[in-house]
Amino acid sequence: MIEEKFFLQNGIALAKALLGKYLIRQYSGKAIITQIVETEAYMGVQDKGAHVYGDKRTERTKPLYLSGGHIYIYLIYGMYYCINISANAKDIPECVLIRALKPIDGLDEIAGNRYGSRYEELNRYQIKNLLNGPGKLCQGLLIDKTLNGKSILSDQIRISDFYRKDGREIRAESDLSIQEDKRVNIDYAEEAKDFLWRFYMEGSPYVSKR
DNA sequence: AGGCAGATGTCCT
DNA sequence: GGACATCTGCCTC
């Protein structure tokens, strides 16, 4: 059972700890179950790749300064949302960007949100591109600004180390091997762009890139 | 399977 | 006015 204190660890530790955990989204009586397979850590005021670099406290970045376990949603390129989970203690604005998910349940719901089709109607290209990117997964799970600043442990959206399927409890595996790589699309971040702060489950076909 | 352009809104200088 | 933690469709190899 994951509780608030789980999110009080630093951004890098949390980014690794979130791999393999389940992200469960519920709305209008529907449930979508996914597994986190790729994350990036953003390490706060000293990180040139982070929105809060230089202690940039603005209306937008407010959720990042909340204690670990709060949601930070931002709009990118005018069209896509991305979701982060705040890490560490209050006023330490580290966070984890969720970059890719493995779809587990609610496949028709996800396919509808992404392509307006049932899962069975998707072609191979669409199946491969369901949730393998931060913008795609927000579209697939209907994640938008209405969740900004809220807790990641709510009925609407939650991170868990188990889920229920046909009355049985499926638990996240505890020892998985983690691959490290450079973060994506932060060319402006000078030396910080080469830090190996992107993490993903080794061998997973659901990651955004290898 | 990889490269490119275009879409488009919000934030901050 | 410029930049942006992206995605899609269309183009070539």
Q: What is the pLDDT of residue A187?
A: 87
Q: What is the pLDDT of residue A140?
A: 96
d(CA A58, C1' B12) / Å: 10
Residue A39 pairs in a beta bridge with: A98, A199
Q: What is the pLDDT of residue A173?
A: 87
Contact A152, A7 (CB under 8 A): yes
For the entire predicted model, the pTM comes to 0.95
d(CA A90, C1' B4) / Å: 42
Q: pLDDT by residue (tens digit) across A49-81?
A: 999 999 999 989 999 999 999 999 999 999 999
Q: What is the pLDDT of residue A209?
A: 85
Cα distance between the two ends of chain A:
31
Q: What is the pLDDT of residue A124?
A: 87
Bases of chain B with protein Cβ within 7 A: 7-13
**Residue ranges of chain A with pLDDT lower than 70?**
none
Q: What is the pLDDT of residue A112?
A: 94
Q: What is the pLDDT of residue A137?
A: 96
Domains and CATH numbers, chain A: 4-163+172-201 (3.10.300.10)
Closest nt by CA–C1' to A131: C7
d(CA A163, C1' C3) / Å: 40
d(CA A191, C1' C7) / Å: 27
Bases of chain C with protein Cβ within 7 A: 3-8
Q: Please check whether strand C approaches the CB of A93 to within 7 Å.
A: no
d(CA A203, C1' C1) / Å: 43
Q: Which residue is nearest to nucleotide B12 (CA to C1')?
A: A58
Closest nt by CA–C1' to A185: C5
Buried residues in A40-49 as b, exposed as e (16+ CB within 10 A): bbbbbeebeb
Q: Please check whether strand C approaches the CB of A37 to within 7 Å.
A: no
- Residues in Cβ contact with A22 at an 8 Å cutoff, skipping those fewer than 6 apart: A33, A34, A35, A36, A104, A159, A160, A161, A162, A163, A172
**Residues near chain B strand, CB within 7 A:** A 56, 58-61, 75-79
